[in-house]
Structure 1
């Protein structure tokens, strides 16, 4: 019998929770540690809809990227979305394990998945942070090379949109062909200078503020904001693959209820 704790220990081996950043709240966040698990639901976020989906489909555990509890909860009631989500999980006997910045940083995690999805090769770390207890290097962001005839920013931005299934992208065209690309899944715009130091002509990330686009234009680097959800949802198939390999007797499914939250006109 597989338990919640078995899955937590396994995920801790793949993406050690000790590597999470100081502001983060990754880990085993909801449920009974020794509860049996026959079905796991994978989702980038644990929303009210995803929590209800888990209950309705008989999943005993949700594994997500973003923590269902991020800021300290002063109450857990049906008066706000977080409270309703937590009540749905608790009342439905659904546990939650959330692998966040630890999954961003480890080899094979969010940023490697993003780089591979964009077709980059010769992938290396953008910002090395150290090695884990097993001697494996970790750090946020990746750098890789494009293959074939280099594209310019408008065409490459369109390709990024297609490959990530994004509803839209924002970009700055620095007039440079796209050859050496840095990627940062989620909100990594503050790593633009890291990309410049490593000789990148292009940076793909999300949640870029106005001044970030101005900086990219002034510094002469193509900058593509492909959205938070598209640049991180690429890790959900990775989690599915890991869990299927580690627990062949457990049913692993991807959410059918959660997708990009906004549209572009």
Structure 2
């Protein structure tokens, strides 16, 4: 019998808890560790639609990247049906669906979010962007004009669009950071990058950065790349369990090219 704890333990062998940021909330966040698992649903976020999908498909466990609750940005003080997060948590508990979340530990892990993102964009000879192993830096097989590279990013990540600024350099040595990694622009510059692909960049990030091209490809597209890999690894490890990827959770934020 495969239990929720078995799945959590496997995920921690891939993305150890010690890699998570001090403020993060990872691991089994909802559910019974000893409950049997027959069906797993993987997703970037646990939304109301994902909970409903899990109910409809008979999933016992949801494995997500973003924590279903994290006091760093959404303090959990109540559990009420007239609150969005309350409805999500209530839906999980009432339907006996467990939730395991692997966040910044999976960002930093070998083969995690940033390695998959770098591979998706064709980067070679990669290395960590930061001491905490967040982000990756690598080189393209051949140099590309920035406009061609932005089209490449949109196509490979399935972006609705993107924002970028042109520092006048062709694209060859590239830093990537899944999710909001704008705080690491200085590290990308120090490592000799001409381009940085990440998300959630601020107005002044674009205004003040002159040393490299900045590409904001969106939070969902830069991290959604890990979900198929989550699904693949779980299915390969737990062959007796049915593992699938959410079809209800999609990027709902439209970005515009400038």
TM tier relative to shorter chain:
over 0.9
**What CA deviation, in whole Å up to 9, does each residue of 1:203-227 have, x standing for no partner?**
00000000111122x3x20110000
Alignment partner for residue 179 of structure 1, among 150, 160, 172?
Answer: 172
Which residue of structure 2 aligns with residue 143 of structure 1?
137
State yes or no: 1:256 paired with 2:247.
yes
TM-score w.r.t. length of structure 2:
0.96
State yes or no: 1:209 paired with 2:209.
no
State yes or no: 1:124 paired with 2:112.
no
TM-score w.r.t. length of structure 1:
0.93
SS of 2:100's equivalent in the other structure is: strand
What is the rounded CA distance, in whole Å, between the counterparts of 1:7 and 1:158 in structure 2?
38
Which residue of structure 2 aligns with residue 133 of structure 1?
none
What is the rounded CA distance, in whole Å, between the counterparts of 2:159 and 2:170 in structure 1?
22
Which residue of structure 2 aligns with residue 50 of structure 1?
50
What is the rounded CA distance, in whole Å, between the counterparts of 1:169 and 1:153 in structure 2?
13
Q: Which runs of 5+ in 1 are unaligned?
A: 130-138
1:121, 1:147 within 8 Å by CA — same for their partners in 2?
Answer: yes
RMSD between superposed Cα atoms in Å: 1.0
What is the rounded CA distance, in whole Å, between the counterparts of 1:102 and 1:65 in structure 2?
10
State yes or no: 1:114 paired with 2:120.
no
What is the rounded CA distance, in whole Å, between the counterparts of 1:57 and 1:107 in structure 2?
31
1:264 deviates by 4.0
**What CA deviation, in whole Å up to 9, does each residue of 1:41-81 have, x standing for no partner?**
00000000001110110000000000001123111111111
Which residue of structure 2 aligns with residue 226 of structure 1?
217
State yes or no: 1:88 paired with 2:91.
yes
1:140, 1:184 within 8 Å by CA — same for their partners in 2?
Answer: yes
1:153, 1:172 within 8 Å by CA — same for their partners in 2?
Answer: no
2:163, 2:255 within 8 Å by CA — same for their partners in 1?
Answer: no
Which residue of structure 1 aligns with residue 27 of structure 2?
27
How many pairs were matched up?
Answer: 253
What is the rounded CA distance, in whole Å, between the counterparts of 1:264 and 1:222 in structure 2?
18
